[in-house]
């Protein structure tokens, strides 16, 4: 059995600290990841070696044991011993005691069932690794549920969080403050955001052995009591009194940027809709452009009439009846 130099595999010195080891691992794992090297068997084997090396050097207890083994092995060679004759039996499956910062993944799934990796009873590790750390690894695998590596990587690095905003905030744009991984930051929600809009905040997700994932804000806009959103257009009911509807005149129309005056013609009917161009929601990707506001007229029937007003309506009714009688 050949001795494996995990420091050489990760390209770090034996004096490298935890941060240097982690940085080297992340860089190499990204370089040789199967997603970027599909069908490349050499990259596949290199990726296995990298993960195996980090499983050892990334765990303080494993590293201590490995360094002790390395010292004995190199001293044996310096004394003229044949590498193939070195006695590894004293190290068989001893494993480390206690917990360390090991890679949080199931290597059995990674190398046994994904992307064409060869399946080995050892879960994909080398003979050297299994001889020294196999018993420890097998115990860990029995304690942890099996998970698909690629799904696990995505699930544990990227995050989604629902952000609820008002229609006014969607119109004007807004911000939200967060604290993630001990760091406070402010996220900008752009004008025109709608239900389901996703805002990607790079590097604001979970921290994993592969780096820090992204945070995706999923926008949820609360229903508005006055306006109804249809795409980038808005719909609003505009109450108009009977006299103005009959004679025509000016009415006030509410918009999200302030009230505007709309001139309606005589004999305007209930349910008639007027389009106010550019008074709707901003386009998400072109906020300088906006949809339209659809103002739907609702006839407002007067209540609590004064005696004079009631008398006038009665005269109007009499005139209408007389007109209808003449046409018969």
Tokens of 64: 């201590």
Q: What are phi and psi of 299, to 5 degrees?
A: -80, 125
Last-in-domain residue among 195, 221, 247: 221
Last residue of a domain, one of 153, 188, 211: 153
Residue 1 lies in a domain: no
Against a cut of 0.85, is the pTM above it?
Answer: no
Please indicate, yes or no, whether residues 286 and 272 belong to a single structural domain of this protein.
yes
User: Do 129 and 40 share a structural domain?
Assistant: yes
One domain, residues 217 and 242 = no
Token pair recorded at residue 168:
């006014």
> Are 142 and 278 in a shared domain?
no
User: What tens digit of pLDDT does each residue of 279-292 get?
Assistant: 999 999 898 999 99
Distance CA 100, CA 15 (A): 18
221-251 pLDDT, tens digit per residue, is 999 999 999 999 999 999 999 999 999 999 9
Question: Residue 211's pLDDT is what?
Answer: 64
Q: Is residue 142 part of a domain?
A: yes
- With respect to residue 327, please indicate whether it lies within any of the assigned structural domains: no
Kindly state whether residues 10 and 133 are assigned to the same domain.
Answer: yes
Stronger pLDDT, 186 or 100, i.e. the higher one: 186
The pLDDT confidence band at residue 1, using thresholds 50, 70 and 90, is low
Domain count, the chain: 3
167, pLDDT greater than 60: yes
Say if residue 215 is in the same domain as residue 236.
Answer: no
Residue 199 lies in a domain: yes
**41 and 133 co-located in one domain:** yes
Statement to judge: residues 185 and 114 lie in one domain: no
The pLDDT of residue 325 is 57
Supply the range of the domain harboring residue 88: 6-153
We report the CATH number of the domain holding residue 125 as 1.10.287.110
* Chain mean pLDDT for the chain: 77
């Amino acid at each position: 059995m050949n001795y494996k130099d995990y420091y050489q595999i990760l390209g770090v010195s034996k004096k490298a600290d935890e941060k240097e080891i982690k940085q080297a691992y992340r860089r190499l794992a990204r370089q040789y990841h199967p997603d970027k090297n599909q069908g490349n068997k050499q990259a596949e084997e290199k990726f296995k070696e990298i993960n195996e090396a980090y499983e050892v050097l990334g765990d303080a207890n494993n590293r201590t044991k490995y360094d002790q083994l390395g010292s004995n092995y190199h001293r044996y060679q310096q004394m003229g011993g044949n590498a193939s004759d070195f006695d590894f039996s004293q190290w068989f499956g001893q494993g480390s005691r206690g917990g360390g910062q090991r890679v949080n993944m199931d290597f059995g799934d990674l190398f046994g069932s994904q992307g064409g990796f060869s399946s080995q009873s050892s879960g994909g590790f080398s003979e050297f690794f299994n001889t020294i750390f196999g018993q420890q690894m097998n115990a860990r695998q029995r304690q942890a549920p099996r998970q698909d590596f690629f799904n696990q990587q995505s699930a544990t690095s990227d995050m989604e969080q629902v952000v609820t905003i008002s229609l006014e905030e969607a119109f004007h744009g807004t911000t939200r403050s967060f604290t993630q991984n001990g760091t406070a930051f402010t996220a900008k929600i752009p004008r025109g955001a709608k239900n389901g809009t996703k805002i990607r905040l790079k590097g604001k997700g979970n921290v994993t052995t592969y780096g820090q994932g992204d945070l995706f804000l999923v926008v949820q806009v609360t229903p508005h009591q006055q306006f109804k959103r249809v795409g980038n257009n808005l719909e609003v009911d505009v109450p108009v009194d009977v006299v103005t509807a009959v004679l025509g005149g000016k009415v006030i129309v509410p918009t999200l940027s302030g009230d505007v005056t709309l001139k309606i013609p005589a004999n305007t009917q209930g349910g008639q809709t007027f389009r106010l161009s550019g008074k709707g929601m901003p386009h998400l990707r072109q906020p300088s452009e906006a949809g339209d506001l659809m103002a739907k007229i609702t006839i407002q029937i007067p209540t609590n009439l004064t005696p004079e007003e009631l008398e006038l309506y009665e005269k109007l009714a009499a005139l209408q009846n007389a007109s209808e009688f003449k046409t018969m």
